[in-house]
Structure 1
Amino acid sequence: MYRIGELAKQYQINTDTLRYYEKNGLLVPSSRSDSGYRSYNEEDAKQLRFILRAKSVGFSLTEIQELINIDHNRSQWACQDVKGMVELKADVIQSKIDELIQFRDSLQGLAKACCGGSESAEHCSILDALEANV
């Protein structure tokens, strides 16, 4: 059995994170002591590893909750359901990457067009371009 601080330390997260996961139904301590201390067992630690791994590959807490529900009821789901979630998430991330690349390219274009000198910004090409683009 682990107390909240021990489990948090083992996974290099803070206790507030564990409390947040508990508040949002992602992780429920296996028991509480008479004085109200949370106690976590190996199954809880396994669940925390699942949460942290899913988070590390980009899933939101809502998505992680859905994955946990699937994990706990595997016989009611097909692999294609889980794969579909992963592919959808990959598509969303790719869209964000494409958008960030477009932002970077636009910013680089603005920076290239600017002389970057120490003179007044009255005729700054960056500010002019931002005013002109609607």
Structure 2
Amino acid sequence: MKPSYKVSIIAIIFAILFSFFYQFCFGNENYVVYVCQVGVYSNEDNANGMLESLELASYQGEIIDDEDMYKVVCGVFIEEKEASVLEEELKAEGFSVAIIEYIVSEEGYDSVEKAEYTLIAEVIE
């Protein structure tokens, strides 16, 4: 085998390896949003009670029905630090809060970024 063929074969192998590496690292872009969750209940009445408590404290929340569990959420954000601000406000009001990370579609991400969503459930489901 001539040296020029060896160089060509090595170059092709490196190109293939690089393309796999690039696809692995950058090709599967995930769109992540952060949601403040203030409760998870197996009983819908309990979830509604928490939702009422949020509304009495002047926060807008909603219930997400997720496989017989009712998640009470408040706020959806692109940046985790933005969710942390709401988390601290809610904790100061006496709520237990967890910031939950959701992987969403590009359309869902864009709707959060542009504040063009009506319900959080539309974004994360």
Band of TM-score, shorter chain: under 0.3
TM-score normalized by structure 1? Answer: 0.26
Give the structure with the larger helix fraction: 1
Give the structure with the larger strand fraction: 2
Task: State the structure with bigger RCO (CA 8 A, min sep 6), 1 or 2.
Answer: 2
Give the number of the structure whose alpha-carbon radius of gyration is greater.
1
